[in-house]
Amino acid sequence: MEFTLKLPNHPPRSYGHNSLTPLQRSSLYGNKPASLARPRRKVTCSSGYITRNSAPFPSTMDCHRHFLPNEARGTQLKTRTSVKPVNEELVEDKSKDLQVTGDSIRRRFLQFYASRGHKVLPSASLVPEDPTVLLTIAGMLQFKPIFLGKVPRLVPCAATAQRCIRTNDVENVGRTARHHTFFEMLGNFSFGDYFKKEAIKWAWELTTIEFGLPANRLWISIYEEDDEAFAIWHDEVGVPVERIKRMGEDDNFWTSGITGPCGPCSEIYYDFQPEKGHSDIDLGDDTRFMEFYNLVFMQYNKKDDGSLEPLKQKNIDTGLGLERMARILQKVPNNYETDLIYPIIQTASELAHVTYETADAQSKTSLKIIGDHMRAIVYLISDGVVPSNIGRGYIVRRLVRRVVRTGRLLGIKGDGKGNTDGAFTPHIAEKVIALSSHIDEDVKGRTGRILEELKREELRFVQTLERGEKLLEEMLSDALASAKEDGRFPCLAGKDAFLLYDTYGFPVEITTEVAQERGVVVDMKGFDIEMDNQRRQSQAAHNAVKLEVGEGADIMENISDTEFLGYDMLSAKAIVESLIVNGKSVLQVSEGHDVEVLLNRTPFYAESGGQIGDHGFIYISEGENRENVVMEVKDVQKSAGSIFVHKGTIKQGVLEVGREVEAAVDAKLRQGAKVHHTATHLLQSALRRIIGQETSQAGSLVAFDRLRFDFNYHRPLADTEILQIEELINGWIGDAVLLQTKVMPLAEAKSAGAIAMFGEKYGEEVRVVEVPGVSMELCGGTHVFNTSEIRGFKIISEQGIASGVRRIEAVAGDAFVEYVNARDYHMKRLCTMLKVKAEDVTTRVENLVEDLRLARNEISNLREKTAVFKASSLANKAFVVGTSKEIRVLVEYMDDTDADSLKGAAEFLMNNLQDPAAIVLGSCPGEGKVSLVAAFTPTVVDLGVQARNFIGPIAKLCGGGGGGRPNFAQAGGRKPENLLNALENARSELVRILSEKAS
């Protein structure tokens, strides 16, 4: 499609389809194929940018998901090329002769490293398996267990295009040329295969030959003590000394934390203004330089005392920012104006009825924020993260709020297309989804769920914004009243402005504008302090990938993967390969001690895929001359890949390393796990049929006595829907369907329609469990052979656990029978107690509840009448304060009157005493309870005395607090013993204030 928006300082750019023509092998080392070249044209250079003719962005890309021909993926080349030292006199900017798209950069990077022996692996989910990290923030995260030595490498080296999320610099998004919340990190990794020399030479070759960047625009940073890296860059690659900068530990020494793997790093910078020369260079100058490729040489382990020891296996971890390289190659002023983000900005511009080229600086920043955040939001929701108030969900919610409030600042009303009650974020999300094919092919299949979540969250937040507007009005009124009383200029506190911003999503710009209209200034210094505090907390929580090298890695180093026999048998002979007590390896363990046992083979299922680990026994039956050994197994976990760790207690004898044992699973408990696991598959299929195919799993638990299934859905299930789900599942159980399991390539399984379980990581070969005609899922769990073994299924609860996430708990098999029997027992007891038949229990209970409601209402009415009667006798105790205006004041204690009756009494007195009057009443309605009420007539409020402000300090004396309206407020407390003194203080304070105001 044609773009109507123009870019600043140059016409819209051209990204032709030709750039996606598969590269030939020769193009990796020499001239580019003709299909990649574009006609030469006159180029005007200025600070690294060029002008060029307009053309549409490509709408479709005909290439593999990972942008590689199948024969190139994972190819292992025995020879590795070297890079000749650069002769800068012969170097020119070859990138200007290419029509380069973001997709082609990603494809060419992966193909470059695939041809050099790297296995191309897919991007990991934005929701990491690592519990120490909230979101996937780096390309190396999925390889963390390999770097730690806890999991053996499956390939010697790999390359990925990893989707990443970082929110520690969210306030810089749109304001700088390079900050993002969502970005792609292109990375090549070596797990002990190659090291500095190859990493440096290939990075240079990729940059200068494959992508054609001029060598004289590239600068190198290295760690100040890394002479080896300096020698490679200068002596072998040929980078001049003056363009290699030694930098300190803070800049060029990578650490994962206080301890763990670490090492020096080297970075490649692009110079946008080479005409400024080589003197007084600051690589941190964002206006001139941009770091786009970081090479980490992971060669040390930092110990507790801070000392460094060489790692047994030296690793390479690199990251090349796709958005940054796209900016360089596409010759645009910032990352946002590349074809990766600009189409999203254009969509937002159309809704806001603005033109990016002619927009002011603030509007451009707002459009960039929307373009960036919408990418993050769409991919997070696609990966199963829904808006909520905690954890990952809060990040999505915060980003959606920033988009919505930014859109409103731009003037987008409703859906931006005439429906003022609609939502605009789904329309922009559609553009993000259209651009997603080569980033994550699964996104388009989740379009319905993504758009629905966005619509619901935006409309909910618009209501929150409206509440924020009302709260702002109250805050401004308070500020004006306080200023009038104190004789100061009215000012809105920074904490209040930040509360509106952070809790209600109210832009500080709007807060400032509205406040100015009312004659109130905003304490921006206080606001900035609150913002800085939040930013520091965010950085501390989300800006590090923690790695540790511990003794556990050494224990597992020489242990082979455990052979799992549990699909076919429940007991088997095995050899004890290792015993671990308190994290340390031992040779034997005696009776009474807890132990972790590693066997060479096992029938025990280790916890995974939501199914808990088996219970059972490991034992040795000896003859008359030797003692039997018995270990009770209470849990089984996987460690270091596929090593099964049996956790339990020695109940008898002494267990030794090397002994042959019998490992036996508790058959009854295993059967419980099997029926609940298969029932979980049936439940997911039933949900998709009853409430919609867009429903997806968000977590699960398969236990021996129950199942728990979390799924994405926006409302509670109706009773009729729950009944339909149960009937459908029990029908499948009654059909006695035989299950089928088989192992097949992952791609084949997905093509066949197999559903992947949430949060699971799959290899190239997967196990598929199919209930023919009902469900097909990728699953390594244990299952029944025939659905009839499940016997019956019953949902015992359905509830919301987070915004957009529901949870079903259910029982099957023996647990189903026990549940039904227990319900039947309780129903029989009810029938006996109520003296009715089972079918009449509901009617009888409804009648009892109605009788109780009427009785409670009658009691409440009597209490209120009693309170009003008491109040009428108190009216003559009111006294007059003031001279210019005589105000009747009444402050009294009303025994044990409950809160509602106390409110009624105050309303009666306010009407009886008439305006002007001020009333404060207190009571002790129960043990450890205090109730307070303040009622002020309009004249008193007009004098600047507000009930909601007055009642708070009085309630505080009673260990509580409260609030309300200017004319009527209620409060509570927990210290009845202080009530009389509090009322006396209230009386004195009212006399003081009203005497001043009415004299």
Give a yes or no: residue 95 inside a domain: no
Residue 778 · residue 755 · CB < 8 Å: yes
Please indicate if the annotation marks 783 as binding a ligand. yes
Q: What is the pLDDT of residue 11?
A: 36
Same domain, 313 and 361: no
Residue 833: CB atoms within 10 A of its CB come to: 10
Same domain, 579 and 712: no
Same domain, 108 and 213: yes
Whether residue 63 is predicted with pLDDT greater than 70 in this model: the reply is no
- Bridge partners, residue 254, by sequence: 263
Same domain, 467 and 572: no
491-492/521-522 β-pairing: parallel
Strands (E), 455-561: 491-492, 521-522
- Here the tokens at position 717 are 């299930």
Question: What's the half-sphere exposure (Cβ side, CA atoms, 13 Å) at 126?
Answer: 28
Average confidence (pLDDT) over 725-738: 96
962 confidence band (pLDDT: 50, 70, 90): confident
- Here the tokens at position 130 are 């690592």
* Sign (positive or negative) of CA dihedral 516, 522, 524, 527: negative
Residue 893 · residue 979 · CB < 8 Å: yes
The helix or strand, by DSSP H or E, that contains position 807, with its residue range, turns out to be strand 805-812
Whether residue 82 is predicted with pLDDT greater than 80 in this model: the reply is no
Give a yes or no: residue 983 inside a domain: yes
Whether residue 410 is predicted with pLDDT greater than 80 in this model: the reply is yes
Residue 564: CB atoms within 10 A of its CB come to: 17
Of 764, 787, 822, the one marking the end of a domain is 822
User: Per mean pLDDT, which of 80-89, 194-203, 284-293, 437-446 is the most reliable?
Assistant: 194-203
917-923/491-492 β-pairing: unpaired
Same domain, 397 and 329: no
Whether residue 623 is predicted with pLDDT greater than 70 in this model: the reply is no
Strands (E), 43-193: 119-120, 157-165, 182-191
507 confidence band (pLDDT: 50, 70, 90): low
Q: How far is CA 740 from CA 90, 270, 354, 689, 764, in A?
A: 64, 56, 58, 21, 20
d(CA 491, CA 480): 8
Q: What is the pLDDT of residue 55?
A: 34
d(CA 629, CA 657): 13
Whether residue 822 is predicted with pLDDT greater than 60 in this model: the reply is yes
Same domain, 654 and 697: no
Taking the alpha carbons at both ends of the chain, their separation in whole angstroms is 75
The helix or strand, by DSSP H or E, that contains position 62, with its residue range, turns out to be none
Which tens digits make up the pLDDT trace of 148-176?
A: 777 788 899 999 999 999 887 777 888 88
- Here the tokens at position 483 are 């200023």
Q: What is the pLDDT of residue 349?
A: 95
Task: Give which of 753, 757, 695 is closest to 721, Cα–Cα.
Answer: 695
Same domain, 941 and 961: yes
Mean per-residue pLDDT of the chain: 83
d(CA 769, CA 740): 6
Average confidence (pLDDT) over 384-403: 84
More confident residue, 861 or 649: 649
Whether residue 73 is predicted with pLDDT greater than 60 in this model: the reply is no
- Output the CA angle 4-8-9, nearest 5 degrees: 120
Which residues are CB-contacts of 668 (< 8 A; sequence separation ≥ 6)? 814
Task: Give which of 969, 952, 976, 960 is closest to 895, Cα–Cα.
Answer: 976
Same domain, 645 and 689: no
Q: What is the pLDDT of residue 19?
A: 32
Strands (E), 540-666: 563-564, 571-581, 584-586, 588-590, 594-599, 601-602, 616-620, 629-639, 643-652, 654-656, 660-665
Please indicate if the annotation marks 66 as binding a ligand. no
Whether residue 208 is predicted with pLDDT greater than 70 in this model: the reply is yes
Q: What is the pLDDT of residue 635?
A: 96
SS3 710: strand
Give a yes or no: residue 835 inside a domain: no
Please give the full DSSP string across 239-288, using - where no structure is assigned: --GGGEEEE-HHHHEEESSSSEEEEEEEEEEEES-GGG-SSS--TT-TTT
56 confidence band (pLDDT: 50, 70, 90): very low
d(CA 348, CA 429): 10
Whether residue 230 is predicted with pLDDT greater than 80 in this model: the reply is yes
Q: How far is CA 172 from CA 166, 336, 535, in A?
A: 12, 13, 11
User: Per mean pLDDT, which of 365-369, 404-408, 858-862, 875-879 is the most reliable?
Assistant: 365-369
Query: Counting Cβ atoms within 10 Å, is residue 216 exposed (0-12), middle (13-18) or buried (19+)?
Result: middle
79 confidence band (pLDDT: 50, 70, 90): very low
Give a yes or no: residue 40 inside a domain: no
Q: What is the pLDDT of residue 882?
A: 80
218-223/260-271 β-pairing: antiparallel
Residue 661 · residue 619 · CB < 8 Å: yes
Give a yes or no: residue 440 inside a domain: yes
Residue 661 · residue 574 · CB < 8 Å: yes
| Backbone phi, psi, residue 594, to 5° | -80, 145
SS3 397: helix
d(CA 993, CA 978): 22
For residue 627, the one-letter residue type is E
Quick check: bond before 333 cis, omega within 30? no
119-120/157-165 β-pairing: parallel
What CATH number should be reported for the domain holding residue 806?
3.30.980.10
| Listed range (294-308, 523-537, 545-559) with the worst mean pLDDT | 545-559
Same domain, 463 and 420: yes
| Listed range (77-86, 455-464, 954-963) with the worst mean pLDDT | 77-86
Same domain, 637 and 489: no
Which residues are CB-contacts of 977 (< 8 A; sequence separation ≥ 6)? none
Whether residue 510 is predicted with pLDDT greater than 80 in this model: the reply is no
Give a yes or no: residue 184 inside a domain: yes
d(CA 331, CA 51): 8
Q: What is the pLDDT of residue 86?
A: 53
Give a yes or no: residue 138 inside a domain: yes
Q: Give the chain's length.
A: 999
What CATH number should be reported for the domain holding residue 990?
3.10.310.40
Q: What is the pLDDT of residue 47?
A: 34
Average confidence (pLDDT) over 802-815: 90
759 confidence band (pLDDT: 50, 70, 90): low
| Backbone phi, psi, residue 180, to 5° | -140, 155
708 confidence band (pLDDT: 50, 70, 90): very high
Q: What is the pLDDT of residue 57?
A: 32
Average confidence (pLDDT) over 782-808: 92
Q: What is the pTM of this model?
A: 0.62
Give a yes or no: residue 391 inside a domain: yes
Of 334, 352, 387, the one marking the end of a domain is 334
Whether residue 619 is predicted with pLDDT greater than 90 in this model: the reply is yes
d(CA 812, CA 821): 13
Of 302, 334, 366, the one marking the end of a domain is 334
Residue range(s) defining the domain that contains residue 419: 342-536
Q: What is the pLDDT of residue 650?
A: 95
Average confidence (pLDDT) over 784-793: 96
| Listed range (84-98, 602-616, 825-839, 968-982) with the worst mean pLDDT | 84-98
Please give the full DSSP string across 909-922, using - where no structure is assigned: HHHHH-SSEEEEEE
Q: Which residue reads 């860059």 in tokens? A: 233
Same domain, 153 and 183: yes
More confident residue, 86 or 733: 733
Same domain, 324 and 427: no
Q: Provide the domain count of the chain.
A: 5
Q: What is the pLDDT of residue 894?
A: 87
Element counts in the chain: helices (H) and strands (E): 24, 35
Q: What is the pLDDT of residue 625?
A: 57
Which tens digits make up the pLDDT trace of 551-586?
A: 455 556 567 889 999 999 999 999 999 999 988 889
Whether residue 863 is predicted with pLDDT greater than 80 in this model: the reply is no
What CATH number should be reported for the domain holding residue 329?
3.30.930.10
Residue 678 · residue 783 · CB < 8 Å: yes
218-223/244-247 β-pairing: parallel
Whether residue 545 is predicted with pLDDT greater than 70 in this model: the reply is no
Q: What is the pLDDT of residue 760?
A: 64
Please give the full DSSP string across 873-936, using - where no structure is assigned: HHGGG-EEE-SSS-EEEEEEE-TT--HHHHHHHHHHHHHHH-SSEEEEEEE--STT-EEEEEEE
